[in-house]
Amino acid sequence: MIEIGKQEWNRLFKEVLVAALRMTRTKESMLVATQNDHAREATQRAFERCLRVRPAEVSSVDALRAYLVKAVRSELSHANAEQASRSEREGAAAVEEAAIGRSVNASAEVIHLEDARALRRRKRAGLAIERLRQELTAQSDAIALGTVDCIEAGKTQPADQAALLKCSIEEIYAARKRRKRVLEKILEALDGGREEDA
């Protein structure tokens, strides 16, 4: 195996990590954070494997990069197969439980934690709507504020909202965009505050 310096290793790690990120981005169902974690873990394992095996066929930086990218692909493939196998086992266990007639209930701790999360989400949503109303009132945006009232009344279609607010559908669409921008800023501020409290 070739000898390279720390800077070259760092650059090579970044290049292989980018390749791993591209490989994980093809999975539409994964969350971005999960994709980044999978890519980083696969890259780390590929480098560990390379240092452990010390492949003799690697005689240049390009050959080393190619070896590492193949090792990453292998790691990701193995992880995906393991995940699929786990899902199959869990599915089979659920079918077996249903066939036998036993049901699996969540523990009291899990139920309590879920209830607490749900309560926090409801409080956050209520606070966000309250702040949204205040902000739209301060901006004198009657149509955007009216769309909030319409949504609370169960009127979510633009045509229904336009009829209730006595304006055009185009004005409803523009108000929705303004409302969405204001709400995004409010949620961003709330999330920032929550991280400070934690």
Q: Is residue 162 domain-shared with residue 190, that is, in the same domain? A: yes
Total of domains in the chain = 2
What pTM was computed for the model?
0.42
Over residues 143-156, the pLDDT tens digits come to: 999 999 999 889 99
Q: Rounded CA gap, 137 and 123, in Å?
A: 21
| 154 and 136 fall within a common domain | yes
| Angstrom distance (rounded) from CA 25 to CA 33 | 11
Report how far residue 191's alpha carbon sits from residue 194's, in angstroms, rounded to the nearest whole number: 5
Label residue 100 by pLDDT band (50, 70, 90): low
Task: Among 100, 123, 155, identify where a domain stops.
Answer: 100
Region 53-62: mean pLDDT is 79
Range of the domain at 60: 6-100
Question: Does 193 lie in the same domain as 118?
Answer: yes
